[in-house]
Amino acid sequence: MATADQNYAGVWDSRLGFGKKSAIIVIDLLKGYTTEGSPLFAPGVVECVSQMPDFLSLARQKNVPIIHTQVRYTPPDFHDGGMWIKKAPVLKDLVEGNPYAEFCDGVEPQADEVVITKQYASAFFGTSLVATLNGMDVDTLIITGCTTSGCIRATAVDCVQHGFRPICVRECIGDRHDGPHEANLFDINAKYGDVISKAETMEYLNGL
């Protein structure tokens, strides 16, 4: 039986590449995902966060726009979470004032960087992200953050459906378990965008 790579070769393996102008999105790098004992704790996100500081530093040196997302809900009824929070009640920790909802150390937004608050998986759904990217004349979205099987995948799918080029940076994306992480990176790379290494992305940034 052919491997997945062999089965997809020549059918689902084209690349979009970078366009004329890129922005970086840092999705939900919140302490709930990196704090042991938190229900949201995801070891892959710990590694992802460790890969981010030098990446963000280079992007800032090159004046690449950086957009951050955070999840926030309104207790006690969590109506703004709709069906999503009924399906995933673990997300109820992501409320104002809960330490798990704070940005991870080393990846906090700078004062001049856009922060988008979202309630659902995709950074596009119910937010101003499309208008923000259009206003900056961006055609390529470099995607980082967590989690691969949730908000990363949903954002990559919506990204291409809104006419932008999704570029996912492998080492700068994390999840709870390697299985869903690798499966979703495979699917994103096959059908929705490009999954490339941090080194290749840094090379692109250095060339700007």
Q: Are 48 and 169 in contact (CB under 8 A)?
A: no
Output the CA angle 127-133-134, nearest 5 degrees. 110
Backbone angles phi, psi at 140, to 5 degrees: -130, 130
Q: Cα 150 to chain center, whole Å?
A: 9
DSSP state string for 160-171: HHTT-EEEEEEE
146 is catalytic: no
Q: Are 93 and 73 in contact (CB under 8 A)?
A: no
Instruction: Tell me the C-alpha distance between 54 and 69, whole Å.
Output: 19
Which entry of 48, 146, 151, 159 is annotated as an active-site residue? Answer: 151
Closest CA to 178 of 200, 207, 149, 137: 149
What's the sign of the alpha-carbon dihedral 180, 78, 155, 60?
Answer: negative
Residues annotated catalytic, as ranges? 151
